[in-house]
Amino acid sequence: MTWLVAGLGNPGERYARTRHNAGAMVADILAARAGGRFKKVRFLPLDVAEIRVGEDRVLLAKSHRYMNESGPTYAGYAKKQGVGADGLVAVHDEIELPFGSLKVKRGGSTAGHNGLNSLVQALRTPDFYRVRLGVGRPPGRGDPTDWVLQPFAKREQDELSILLEEAADAALTLIEAGLARAMDRHNRNASPG
């Protein structure tokens, strides 16, 4: 089977280490572990690295478009590669989960996440897999939009490294062993605040 892992994020160095780019960071980890190299896809604003997970072909993708308009890029590439919603894994930040939490699921609400909204609209279904990385809500009454575009704090770096590696493991478990096993093995809550 062919899988598409969409590492959601924003393009460019300015956003590379921000909360909104947690998904793209996980795609980088998966590529690095398997010795895959990202290459620009012809005629699409997309970088893709191809790896193998057991018998499966796995395409790791990062869009050159901003998060809120990246859905058509991923959907177009999925269609071109013959990947349906049942083979698509969106890896993304989630402010509704406390920092350090990790949840694997299929379908459901987007919780207002603009990258997911764009993907659902382009795919015409919400029924794809998600690996959700908790980045927490902004302190006080801070603006969530500004919050996700800020880099992770220095004090968060150690836990961030663990979270990103665990999310990469969760994506691999999902592909190799299915949703139930991935949820059982990797879903975890972090304490709020």
**Residue 133, token pair as written in the block:** 């990385």
**What is the identity of the amino acid at 163?**
L
Q: What are the E-state strand segments in 65-165?
A: 88-94, 102-106, 129-134
H helix intervals, 81-156: 114-123, 144-148
Are the C-beta atoms of residues 166 and 160 closer than 8 Å to each other?
A: no
Asked about 20 being catalytic, the answer comes back as yes
Kindly tell me the sign of the dihedral angle through the C-alpha atoms of 178, 184, 185, 186: positive
The DSSP 8-state label assigned to residue 18 in this structure reads: B
How far is the first Cα of the chain from the last one, in angstroms, to the nearest whole number? 40
**Residue 8, token pair as written in the block:** 């959601």
From the list 20, 92, 113, 186, the catalytic residue is: 20
Instruction: Give 107's strand partners.
Output: none
Tell me the helix, strand and coil percentages in the chain, rounded to 5.
Answer: 40, 25, 35
Other Cβ atoms less than 10 A from the Cβ of 143: the count is 9
Residues annotated as catalytic (active site), given as ranges: 20
